[in-house]
Structure 1
Amino acid sequence: MATHNSNDARNCWVVTPGHAGMENQAVALAEAVGLPFQIKRVRPRVPWTWLPPGWWPLPLAALGDDSDAIAAPWPDLLISCGRRAVPYALWVKRQSGGATTTVHVQNPQTRLSAFDLVAPPRHDHLQGPNVVESEASLHRITALRLAEAAAEFAPQLEHLPRPLVAVLIGGSNSCFELTPEIITTLAGQLRNICLEHGVGLAVTPSRRTGPENIKTLRAALADLPAVVWNFEDANPYFGYLGLADSIIVTCDSVNMVTEACATGKPVHVVHLKGGNRKFNEFHASMRDAGYTRPFLGKLEDWRYQPADDVAKIANKIHQLLRLKSNSVA
């Protein structure tokens, strides 16, 4: 359990199953709200996880030994993300007698009215008086965070020419497949833009990219002005975003595309094999809004004003907290 402090007497819990993509979204919102917060990771066991999240009997009995404790005193604000966090958010709301303001990020897959506020992405198509949609996933990207990360990693990339292109590569998951053919094509395209346009490349693969695909990338870029993260040094992800003039990103992660678009820089999306309705709607909405364009082997230049979903939702939370405080007074 991690604790983050501020000078506010009220407090907040961030409750998630501990998956990075979910936790980062809830933490981003907690940071924007500004209350001191604790991160609580819940890892429930079967057979509870087979049940709909709104219908768990005795959810505390489901907690595994590697879970954080869910116990009084209850927080003023609870921000949850992930289906398996839902039963614990609802439990805390009941145990606090409704004193805890509950906010769920993404689709809770239960009654929306069970929460004080639900913040799903637009492609979830949720509607209700307590629903505030985001254009994409919530993120922790701020101008200050990018500037600090850029300053930290600038010495590692100072030998690369400008313009600098950050290349964010995900990989295969339950929806997409990064095939050897796709990575070979991408490696060739990256090589071409280096040779034809004199750009520098700052490449950050992920664990999902796979060792053979990474080997293909390294071989194609070995004699070019390119840096490929080795997974051993500090993660340069935010630094590369802050330093880049342009960004290329694979389509398999909503969070990764959203974070790239938070920079206001041109974001070129590499499409992988696969997809589903939600991903397709997400990418279509990002293209239509002018945030992204498909990567077809050429770099383009355009500008846009990034959406600020985190601030919008944080403002709504502050309104709810004020209303609850006034009603108690």
Structure 2
Amino acid sequence: MPIKTPHKLIQVLLVSLLCSFVNFGYAKEVITITGSTTVAPIVKASESQFTNQTGVSIIIRAKGSSAGIEAVAKGEANIGMASRPLKQSELQQWPQLKAITLAEDAIVLIVNSKNPITNLTRQQVNELYSGKYNNWDQLNKELNFNLLKNQHIQLISKKEGHGSLSAFIKLFGLSKPSVKGRKMYFKSADASQFNSLGASQVDTAKQAMTLVARLKNSIAYESLGTLETLKADPLYTQIKMLSIDDIKPTVASVTLGEYLIKRSLLLIIDQNKNNPHVTQYLQYMSSPEGKEHIKAYGYIAK
């Protein structure tokens, strides 16, 4: 075996040290943020600027509010995204969790653009989802629903685990739905009706918008802010947002306290863990720069 000269040994050591330096220089700290599909666009928008300022990378996983809360509780994520408050059962099981209000968002009802309905009362939304009406013409005899061919109303809902579902149930006086197969069945909170048609289930606003655009008899509920991110989609022109109690859902009407169908968007942390990068991110999102990301997506910064 050939013996290396001192000169060659020095070369090997220098190369080894250089590689170590390069690897160290490019190594980045990482935080994982997971949860609500409604909050995810805000976090995604903040990613580039936050990373450029701090050198901390963000891994974003949109899985629904419940999944995000549980991931933080179990140490599988640094920050959770939630579009609903922490449940009492979650606080009892994981008292270390803390919710920080990021923004406010409105829940809006969307229908096909061919549907002549433009306004619903909060009570009518309750009655639609809990089964009082099977057809649109039962809701308002004065409107012409001929284009809808008198077919059954097709309800669309977010799946279990999404904060939008929890907010929708609370805001419109419904009880927790039951799930059978691919359908979700709602009941009024006072058990006055029970839907026999069932609602089709979706995970994302894009899926809800696609179904409403294709199914003229359909109705869905969604996040105002999330729909703002889909305005460039060709299908957006085939849906419309409904006024509730004669108040049109807009960023201005939500900010002024006129449109009251709204909920808080939250970041969830484990307050027993001292992670400086989590602190950095929370500070960034409460800064003027962070709030600009929130406003850009149609949410109301807090």
TM exceeds 0.5? no
Q: Which has the higher strand share?
A: 2
Q: TM-score, normalised by structure 2?
A: 0.34
Relative contact order (alpha carbons < 8 A, sep ≥ 6): 1 or 2 greater?
A: 2
